[in-house]
Amino acid sequence: MTTNARRPDERDESGAQNFIANIIEEDLASGRHSRVVTRFPPEPNGYLHIGHVKSICLNFGLARDFKGVCHLRMDDTNPTTEDVEYVENIQRDVRWLGFDWADKLFYASDYFDRLHGFAVELIKKGKAYVDSLSETEIREYRGTVTEPGRPSPYRDRSVEENLDLFERMRKGEFPEGAHVLRMKGDLASPNMKMRDWPMYRIKRAHHYRTGDKWCIYPLYDFAHSLSDAIEGITHSICTLEFENNRELYDWFVENVDVPARPRQYEFARLNLTYTVMSKRKLLELVKGGSVRGWDDPRMPTIAGMRRRGVTPEALRAFCEEVGVAKANSTVEVEKLEHFIRGDLDRRSPRVMAVLRPLKVVLENYPEDRVEEFDVPYFPDDAARGGARKVPFCREFYIEKDDFALDPPDKWHRLAPGREVRLRNAYIIKCHDVIKHPDTGEVVELRCTYDPASRGEGGAEGGRKVKGTLHWVSVRHALRAEVRLYDRLFRDERPDLVEEGVDWKTGLNPESLAVAEGAALEPSLATAEPGKHFQFERQGFFFVDPVDAKPGAPVFNRTVSLKDSWAKIAEPKAPPKAQERPKAEEKAAKRLTPEERLAGLDPARQAEVQRFEGRGLGREEAIVLAEDPALGRLFEEAAAAHASNLRGVASLVINELPRALKGKSVETLPFGGAAVGELVALIDDRTITPTIAKEVLLAMLEKGGSPRAIVEQKGMRQVSDASAIEPIVDRVIAEHAGEVARYRAGNQKLIGFFVGRVMKLSNGKANAELVNELLTRKLG
Contact partner, 715, from Mg ion, ligand ATP, none, Cβ < 5-8 Å per class: none
| Other beta carbons within 10 Å of 620 | 21
Distance CA 488, CA 298 (A): 6
Q: Which is nearer to ligand ATP, 131 or 296 (CB)?
A: 296
Which of ligand ATP, Mg ion, none sits in contact with 52, Cβ below 5 to 8 A by type? ligand ATP
**Minimum distance from residue 156 beta carbon to ligand ATP (Å):** 35
Of 156-175, binders to Mg ion (CB under 5 A) are: none
Q: How far is CA 340 from CA 54, 301, 318, 320, in A?
A: 15, 15, 8, 13
> Cβ closer to ligand ATP: 77 or 712?
77
279 binds, among Mg ion, ligand ATP, none (CB under 5 to 8 A by kind): ligand ATP
Nearest CA to 433 out of 33, 115, 711, 750 is that of 711
Minimum Å distance from CB 35 to ligand ATP? 21
Q: Which does 193 bind (CB under 5 to 8 A by kind): Mg ion, ligand ATP, none?
A: none
What DSSP designation does 580 have?
P
- Rounded Cα distance between 129 and 624, Å, is 62
Query: Which contiguous run of DSSP H or E holds residue 433?
Result: strand 427-435
- From the candidates 193, 195, 279, 308, which is the catalytic residue? 279
In sequence order, what are the residues at sequence separation of 6 or more whose Cβ sits closer than 8 angstroms to the Cβ of residue 119? 128, 166, 181, 199, 200, 218, 222
Minimum Å gap between C-beta 56 and ligand ATP is 8
**Which of ligand ATP, Mg ion, none binds 238 (CB below 5-8 Å, type-dependent)?**
ligand ATP
Amino acid at 141: Y
* Shortest Å distance, C-beta 77 to Mg ion: 10
CA-based angle 541:545:546, to the nearest 5? 125
Q: Which is nearer to Mg ion, 43 or 683 (CB)?
A: 43
Task: Find residue 388's DSSP bridge partners.
Answer: 375
In whole angstroms, the minimum distance from the beta carbon of 515 to ligand ATP comes to 33
User: Closest CB to ligand ATP belongs to which residue?
Assistant: 51
Q: Which is nearer to Mg ion, 277 or 659 (CB)?
A: 277
> Which position among 269, 429, 572, 716 bears the catalytic label?
269
Number of residues in contact with Mg ion under rule CB under 5 A: 1
Q: 423 is in the binding site of which of Mg ion, ligand ATP, none (Cβ under 5 to 8 A by kind)?
A: none
Cβ–Cβ under 8 Å, residues 267 and 294:
no
Instruction: Report the nearest approach of ligand ATP to the CB of residue 270 (Å).
Output: 4
Residue 668, CA atoms < 13 Å, CB-side half-sphere: 22
Residues 43-62 that bind Mg ion (CB under 5 A): 43
Which residues form the interface with ligand ATP (CB under 6 A)?
Answer: 41-43, 51-52, 54-55, 75, 238-239, 269-270, 277-279
Window 2-41: contact mask with Mg ion (x via CB under 5 A): ----------------------------------------
Do 325 and 267 form a contact (C-beta atoms < 8 A)? yes
d(CA 64, CA 435): 63
Cβ 122 vs Cβ 141: under 8 Å: no
Q: Residue 75 CB, nearest distance to Mg ion (Å)?
A: 7
Question: Residue 758 and residue 324: Cα distance in Å, rounded?
Answer: 57
Which residue lies nearer to Mg ion by CB, 43 or 772? 43
Distance, C-alpha 736 to centroid of its chain: 52
> Can you give the three-state secondary structure of 90-159, one letter per residue?
HHHHHHHCCCCCCCCEEEHHHHHHHHHHHHHHHHHCCCEEEECCCHHHHHHHCCCCCCCCCCCCCCCCCH
Catalytic residue among 25, 43, 313, 444: 43
**Cβ-based nearer residue to ligand ATP, 165 or 270:** 270
Q: Concatenate the DSSP letters of all residues of 675-716 into one string.
A: HHHHHHHHHTTSS-HHHHHHHHHHHHHH---HHHHHHHTT--
Q: Spell out the residues 6+ positions from residue 77 whose beta carbon is closer than 8 angstroms to its own.
A: 108, 109, 217, 218, 219, 220, 223
The nearest distance, CB 43 to Mg ion, in angstroms, is 5
- Least Å from the CB of residue 279 to Mg ion: 8
CA distance 38 to 59: 6
278 binds, among ligand ATP, Mg ion, none (CB under 5 to 8 A by kind): ligand ATP
CB under 5 to 8 A by kind: which of Mg ion, ligand ATP, none does 777 bind? none
The residue (of 97 and 353) whose beta carbon lies closer to ligand ATP is 97
Residue 246 CB, shortest distance to Mg ion, in Å, is 16
269 is catalytic: yes
Cα distances (angstroms) measured from residue 398 to each of 281, 413, 456: 42, 11, 18
Q: Which residues are paired to 181 by β-bridges?
A: 130, 200
Question: Would you say 277 or 673 has its CB closer to ligand ATP?
Answer: 277
619, 602 contact by CB (below 8 A): no
The residue (of 73 and 557) whose beta carbon lies closer to Mg ion is 73
Binding partner of residue 315 among ligand ATP, Mg ion, none, CB cut-off 5 to 8 Å per kind = none
Which partner in Mg ion, ligand ATP, none is near 762 (CB below 5 to 8 A by kind)? none
Judged by beta carbon, residue 43 or residue 738, the one nearer Mg ion is 43
Distance in angstroms between the alpha carbons of the first and the last residue of the chain: 92
Min dist CB 278 to ligand ATP, Å, is 4
Whether 274 contacts 489, CB under 8 Å: yes
Helix (H) or strand (E) holding 7: none
Q: Which residue, 43 or 161, is less far from ligand ATP as judged by CB? A: 43
User: Backbone phi, then psi, for 523, in 5-degree steps?
Assistant: -60, -20
Give the binding site for Mg ion (CB under 5 A).
43
Looking at the annotation, which residues are catalytic? 43, 269, 279
